[in-house]
Structure 1
């Protein structure tokens, strides 16, 4: 049996086992409850803010045009805070309800942890009790690795699609102006963005699962790496902000920046840094982010294969 057939057989068997297990149902319920909670809270807060602004405008004697203008300015401010000040992106997302954007941003932040919970034992669960040896006798180690990776990626793809569909159906009901065509187009766009974003983190989970024989240790180490990547992104962005401010001040004063300039490059080593352009309407911007996540995924998978190849099973 060649490598491709081996991979497909393992992928199919692992996917069937994952779908039949109770974990898939629990993870779907966990993800859906979290998304629903965020959606309801954000929707309630948005409604309260709109109501308060409308009351103030009515008290001031402002008309409907002024209310619409204030609402648009508030929307632009929220979009700039959540995504970026890119005019092309703001125009492309102008018809998407703010509730959807806020929920997408929050769930994207927690999605790596969800991925880790989903597949932390995909390899360590069989390496520990040494049941992996029965697979590697009949199939290549690379086929086992890719089959398990693809099964987790496929399961995640389906779960995210179900949740995104529920979110957009709610947005369609709550916002009558959000047309059916806009729902379909943006559903595909947001779903594709979430999948591309998850690609690197599924690979990272595979790497962590290959490093240890204990699934619990794999999960803890995975969370440690997620925190390290988040910290690198946060420090890099803060250093870039400080460095940009220093360049402005340096026109009037001479001195060295208090923060070392190379810290700003740390953000490029974190996968989360490249999430900003996943919803960009320009293909070049989206492709750059997609290529970055594909690169991270390749590095993590190659690392997992190197560990699995050297490990005594």
Structure 2
């Protein structure tokens, strides 16, 4: 009887979440901020892609010119380019042979741009949703929502809105990057392009979930959106510092445990072909997202709206 009594309440909560999610998503899509943030992310990605593409082309041209001057044949040029590619892949993937083999068909421009944009993606997420809760709590318009819906439904609906919006924006940018890579690298076939586009997009989304939840938490802590944004950036810097110090400590340092407390530490295996490695990273980001959301809910439930 207890379970049957609770079941309708669960359905009501799900309905409230869906209603809030759909209404907030429509409002977000129509807002000018979405267009501005898409343009900002697009220009940054395009700039990085063009610079990386130009540098890659210059290096290849310099190697080809040097080999031509020394009288080496075409096979030597191909071999040297392949060794250079493996060296860059080894640096980007920490010399993981399985990842180097799995990413062998992906142009270097895509990998470098992915690594750089992934580093700045948490800051982009903070700019996107720093006022998702504080923007309602500050002017006290949140109380009108909580009269009609549970606080948990409001929180989850706003979290899903930002996650959905980010999912679409990242897909647009990744698609543009892969189209550029396909045009610039004729040997990068459509089958490999489609498969790797899905893989990179999924990796970016899994990576982003924890940071979307972190933004929700920061937005729940304060009434002023500007304070939420500043505090969010402070936490991002703290997490980056923990990861950097933990990695610098190596496997025997006394501070090596700090890296395990930072979400960014688990990003390295998001492109791993092994299901166990990818699953472990995905589970870590799911745990971070769950902890941040539960903390946000506890704060929102306890505070006076």
Q: What is the TM-score when the length of structure 2 is the normalising length? A: 0.96
Name the structure 1 match of 2:267. Answer: 275
**Cα offset for 1:77?**
0.9
Q: Give the match for residue 71 of structure 2.
A: 61
Deviation at 1:231, TM superposition (A): 0.2
Query: What do residues 97-132 of structure 1 show as CA deviations (whole Å, max 9, x unaligned)?
Result: 000000000000000000000000000000001000
Question: Partner of 1:73 in structure 2?
Answer: 83
2:142 maps to which of 114, 129, 132: 132
User: Which has the larger displacement, 73-82 or 138-147?
Assistant: 73-82
Aligned equivalents of 2:303, 2:77: Cα separation in 1:
65
Q: Distance in 2 between matches of 1:302 and 1:237?
A: 28
1:142 is displaced (CA, Å) by 0.3
Counterpart Cα distance in 2 of 1:142 and 1:219: 22
Higher mean alpha-carbon deviation, 57-66 vs 105-114, is at 57-66
CA deviation after TM superposition for structure 1 residue 149, in Å? 0.1
1:2 alignment partner, SS class: helix
Task: Name the residue aligned to 1:290.
Answer: 282
Question: In structure 2, the residue corresponding to 1:130 is in which secondary structure?
Answer: coil
Is 2:142 the partner of 1:142?
A: no
Deviation per CA, 1:14-46: give whole Å up to 9, x if none: 000000000000000000000000000000000
Unaligned runs of 5+ in 2: 1-10
1:27-106 alignment to 2 at 5 Å?
27-106=37-116
Unmatched tracts of structure 1, length 5 or more: 244-260
**1:262, distance to aligned residue in structure 2 (A):** 2.5
Instruction: Return the offset for 1:84.
Output: 2.0
Paired position in structure 1 for 2:258: 266
Distance 1:115 1:167 in 2: 19
Matches within 5 A, 1:135-214: 135-214=145-224
2:277 and 2:39 map into 1 onto residues whose CA distance is: 34
Mapped partners of 1:64, 1:292: distance in 2: 46
What is the aligned partner in structure 1 of residue 304 from structure 2?
Answer: 312
Distance in structure 1 (CA, Å) of the matches to 2:212 and 2:97: 32
What is the match of residue 231 of structure 2?
221
- Give distance in 1, aligned partners of 2:268 and 2:146: 40
- Indicate the SS of the match to 1:58: helix
Q: Between Structure 1 and Structure 2, how many residues are aligned?
A: 295
TM-score (norm 1): 0.93
1:254-306: per-residue Cα shift (whole Å, max 9, x none)?
xxxxxxx3201100000000000000011111000000000000000000000
Shift of 1:80: 1.2
- The SS at the match of 2:187 is coil
Q: Kindly report structure 1 stretches of 4+ aligned residues shifted beyond 4 Å.
A: none
Deviation, structure 1 residue 81: 1.2
Deviation digits for residues 66-119 of structure 1 (CA, Å, limit 9, x no counterpart): 111111111111111112211111011000000000000000000000000000
